[in-house]
Chain A
Amino acid sequence: MFVSDFRKEFYEVVQSQRVLLFVASDVDALCACKILQALFQCDHVQYTLVPVSGWQELETAFLEHKEQFRYFILINCGANVDLLDILQPDEEAVFFVCDTHRPVNVVNVYSDTQIRLLIKQDDDLEVPAYEDIFRDEEEDEEHSGNEGDEGSEPSEKRTRLEEEIAAQTLKRRQRREWEARRRDVLFDYEQYEYHGTSAAMVMFDLAWLMSKDLSDMLWWAIVGLTDQWVQDKITQVKYVTDVGVLQRHVSRHSHRHEDEAHALSVDCARISFEYDLRLALYQHWSLHDSLCNTCYTAARFKLWSLHGQKRLQEFLADVGLPLKQVKQKFQSMDVSLKENLREMIEESANKFGMKDMRVQTFSVHFGFKHKFLASDVVFATMSLMESPEHGSGTDSFTQALDSLSRGNLDKLYHGLELAKRQLRATQQTIASCLCTNLVVSQGPFLYCALMEGTPDVALFSKPASLSLLSRHLLKSFVCSTKNRRCKLLPLVMAAPLSAEQGTVTMVGIPPETDSSDRKNFFGRAFEKAAEGTNSRALHNHFDLSASWRRSPQQQPPPPISDLRPEVVLAGWQDTPASPGWGLQGGAAWLPHAQAVIELKAEDRSKFLDALVTLLS
């Protein structure tokens, strides 16, 4: 059910209890978690925080902790699947789910007590009505009860029998129609997956309702929203709307600046609205590096070719920046050049065909020295979370969580260095893929596979980095190719995950269109293809389809990873090839989530063939 009054029905319920927080591994979830932690610490709510990066971890952690807690809060995980079915909780367990994944699973919506969704209802949800999906079983039983009461005369009996048969057939036909309609309704509802309002913004709203919001929390909400925009999870329109909402809060928090007597001290975090350049990390890097490594500019200039490099030089000459200055660190650039930098770059960018060089965003100042744009923090935190240098997943999670606090700016700077490395590696990989024509058209989609020995391939084994790489690759490919048909194709990307186990990660990205509404398909297609070809695949990541079901009769999984067999989730598909794996009923493949799956390398080719057949 949807929680209408967040304060009464959520916060005051958990305030006197101990709660368990499950937090997914993305920046938006981290920000929401920090806001919630700050609220809990203010009110002395005892909580335990467990980071989870996939369904397996969620289920394992739940099994371990379920004896000790009654209230569970899930952040950015769990709204799009049938939670009660997967986790099998006790009767008294209550789940509060604050998730951006849509569509919300219908069981979660209509569960009366156990699942409470912390989702604003004015998000375009379009949940189907209850009657369309669930049907009370009483009518049938009543009817069969009536049948027993029949009695007496044969002639009457016969007519009554005929009537009965007629009535039954009618009922059955109605039931079939209802079921067909139900299938259609569910199909339409769960067709595309997309993302709703940022979880961090929802939490900030709750804090604001209780008048406990601080500028730190506002900054985290801003970072959460910017993460959604950086990863292309929301449309431009929604982003601008949400920026407007946050801008009102920013002006409320910083209105003291005008009044000199009560101005904020320099040491406080001062947030301000900016209409700033879209270049990634440009204030912590040199302008030249930033232009070369931001996907937007690199794709438009086609910087992987010599011609592109020359265009970049022309652009810089047009803006009026000497090459020596541009290659220096941004902070050491001449002040006279930095004065009108944004406007000059925007003007020249317009001439070169880049209309969206500037974007609405926010920046924060800590003291005199430290200034960050929201996208800087997003890149830094993302790199910290996915960097291969910290041992296990949870170690990097804690690093990333720490870096968001103001006292740990050294970790944030470390994250910025990692982000620079990541961006550079991304662009180099894209350049090599395009120059060596690794992106091939498989018919209904484009396909690109990163080989094992590619430099920096270890940086792309985690889902968010790989998705970022794939999206940038698709954008660059669209700019580079002249084939008009290819520009409208989606992209499937594969990268090696683990050498010893021989697995690869595959990612599906929807086609690049100007007015894309960020609704993604692919999850179901992956699922079906894996099923049909008997490939050993693992749908572990949270971006997956809603109607994903559990098949209890699984064989113990091959040692693709060290899972306990009893904990394995249904994503482990090892079912025998069923003859009609294609799709019944004329419905095309049910397109679903932006999917990331892990596969065994040997199964890759047959999986791709199956996918081609599915999509064409």
Chain B
Amino acid sequence: MFCEKAMELVRELHRAAEGRLPAFNEDGLRQVLEEMKALYEQNQSDVNEAKSSGRGDLIPTIKFRHCSLLRNQRCTVAYLYDRLLRIRALRWEYGSVLPSALRFHMSAEEYNSECQDSAFLGPESHSGKMDWFNRYKKSLATYMRSLGGDEGLDITQDMKPPKSLYIEVRCLKDYGEFEVEDGTSVLLKKNSQHFLPRWKCEQLIRQGILEHVLS
């Protein structure tokens, strides 16, 4: 049946948990595009035939194929758009440098595309995801620099209003030395507890080296 491949793509994304980015399904996308191409060509020939030989009984078939084409287009666009939204969430979650595991899940095609940072991309000319990510990053950085006077304001920090400047953290693994803002460093050993500024610890908490101690 037509459009099954496209449904597969959509279902794959629907199955993935919130925020996770499964690997880019190039094969699936290519198959859908080929199906669309085949349908389109068939429709072309049928339309020509219908016009030239006046065969009215071909029109439902043409209509049907057209509907399938539209459905395929909707599915692929939904797939790509949803992926872009997830990639954008990744920037806010992980910062400007993505872990390499995630990078593999994105398509890393051309790095210099002419398209602006629009979320909508036509199925025929999808530029590289990585490239989109880079451009989104740049755009976000420009915006952040434009806020808050000279230095700019990092709006990806402190997503929820913090309750205190400093937090108590406990070290779960041996990490080594860790720089604090006045140049001195702290040695992070397993099971030592520290009371450090919140923004310095957030990265390490996300990586699982420190644990926030609530008392």
Please determine whether chains A and B interact with each other in the same assembly: yes
| B184 A50 Cβ-Cβ under 8 A | no
| B196 A407 Cβ-Cβ under 8 A | no
| A68 B195 Cβ-Cβ under 8 A | no
Answer yes or no: B193 CB below 8 A from chain A CBs.
Answer: yes
Flag A50-69 by CB within 8 Å of B: 1 or 0 each: 11000000000000110010
Answer yes or no: B155 CB below 8 A from chain A CBs.
Answer: no
| A398 B170 Cβ-Cβ under 8 A | yes
Q: With A and B bound together, what is the CA distance between A405 and B168 in angstroms? A: 14
- Which among A38-46, A224-232, A506-514, A580-588 touches the partner chain? A38-46
| A48 B191 Cβ-Cβ under 8 A | no
Residue from the list B187, B193, B196, B214 in contact with A65, Cβ < 8 A: B187
Residue from the list B166, B184, B214, B215 in contact with A44, Cβ < 8 A: B166
Flag B176-215 by CB within 8 Å of A: 1 or 0 each: 0000100011110111111111000000000000000111
| A49 B193 Cβ-Cβ under 8 A | yes
A73 to chain B, nearest CB (A): 13
Answer yes or no: A395 CB below 8 A from chain B CBs.
Answer: yes
Answer yes or no: B165 CB below 8 A from chain A CBs.
Answer: yes
Q: Which residues of A contact B191 (CB under 8 A)?
A: 51, 392, 394-395, 397-398
B83 to chain A, nearest CB (A): 41
Q: With A and B bound together, what is the CA distance between A53 and B193 in angstroms? A: 16
Known interface pairs A41-B168, A65-B187. Does A48 touch B180 (Cβ–Cβ under 8 Å)? Answer: no
Known interface pairs A65-B187, A398-B170. Does A47 touch B215 (Cβ–Cβ under 8 Å)? Answer: no
B51 to chain A, nearest CB (A): 78
Q: Which residues of A contact B187 (CB under 8 A)?
A: 48, 64-65, 68
Answer yes or no: A519 CB below 8 A from chain B CBs.
Answer: no
Residue from the list A41, A395, A398 in contact with B166, Cβ < 8 A: A41
Q: With A and B bound together, what is the CA distance between A40 and B165 in angstroms? A: 13
Q: With A and B bound together, what is the CA distance between A407 and B215 in angstroms? A: 6
Q: Would you list which residues of chain A between 134 and 148 have a CB under 8 Å from chain B? A: none
Q: With A and B bound together, what is the CA distance between A185 and B107 in angstroms? A: 82
Q: Which residues of A contact B190 (CB under 8 A)?
A: 394
Q: With A and B bound together, what is the CA distance between A395 and B172 in angstroms? A: 10
Residue from the list A18, A397, A407 in contact with B184, Cβ < 8 A: A18
Chain B contributes a number of interface residues (CB within 8 A of A) equal to 22
Q: Which residues of A contact B189 (CB under 8 A)?
A: 50, 64
| A48 B186 Cβ-Cβ under 8 A | yes
User: Nearest residue in B to A43 (C-beta to C-beta)?
Assistant: B166
User: Nearest residue in B to A48 (C-beta to C-beta)?
Assistant: B194
Q: Would you list which residues of chain B between 118 and 164 have a CB under 8 Å from chain A? A: 164
Q: With A and B bound together, what is the CA distance between A48 and B192 in angstroms? A: 7
Q: Would you list which residues of chain A between 442 and 467 have a CB under 8 Å from chain B? A: none
Q: Which residues of B contact A402 (CB under 8 A)?
A: 213, 215
Q: With A and B bound together, what is the CA distance between A30 and B195 in angstroms? A: 17
Q: Would you list which residues of chain A between 361 and 416 have a CB under 8 Å from chain B? A: 392, 394-395, 397-398, 402, 405, 407
Known interface pairs A68-B186, A68-B187. Does A46 touch B192 (Cβ–Cβ under 8 Å)? Answer: no
Q: With A and B bound together, what is the CA distance between A37 and B195 in angstroms? A: 9
| B184 A45 Cβ-Cβ under 8 A | no
| Chain A CB within 10 Å, residue with most, of B168, B187, B197 | B187
| Chain A CB within 10 Å, residue with most, of B187, B194, B195, B197 | B195
| A46 B193 Cβ-Cβ under 8 A | no
Q: Which residues of B contact A405 (CB under 8 A)?
A: 215
| B193 A48 Cβ-Cβ under 8 A | yes
A57 to chain B, nearest CB (A): 11
User: Nearest residue in A to B197 (C-beta to C-beta)?
Assistant: A46
Q: With A and B bound together, what is the CA distance between A65 and B177 in angstroms? A: 10
A537 to chain B, nearest CB (A): 28
| A44 B192 Cβ-Cβ under 8 A | no
User: Nearest residue in B to A69 (C-beta to C-beta)?
Assistant: B184
Q: Which residues of B contact A49 (CB under 8 A)?
A: 192-194
Q: Which residues of A contact B215 (CB under 8 A)?
A: 402, 405, 407
B205 to chain A, nearest CB (A): 17
Other A-B pairs, 19, CB within 8 Å; known A41-B195, A48-B186, A48-B195:
A18-B184, A37-B195, A41-B168, A46-B166, A46-B180, A46-B194, A46-B195, A46-B196, A47-B194, A48-B194, A49-B193, A49-B194, A50-B189, A65-B187, A68-B185, A68-B187, A394-B191, A405-B215, A407-B214
Closest A-B pairs by Cβ, 7 of them = A394-B191, A49-B193, A405-B215, A48-B194, A47-B195, A50-B192, A44-B166
Binding site for A on B (CB under 8 A): 164-166, 168, 170, 180, 184-187, 189-197, 213-215
Binding site for B on A (CB under 8 A): 18, 37, 40-41, 44-51, 64-65, 68, 392, 394-395, 397-398, 402, 405, 407
Q: List 25 A-B contacts (CB under 8 A).
A: A18-B180, A40-B195, A41-B166, A44-B165, A44-B166, A46-B194, A46-B195, A46-B196, A46-B197, A48-B192, A48-B193, A49-B192, A50-B189, A51-B192, A64-B187, A64-B189, A65-B187, A68-B185, A68-B187, A394-B191, A395-B191, A397-B191, A398-B193, A405-B215, A407-B215
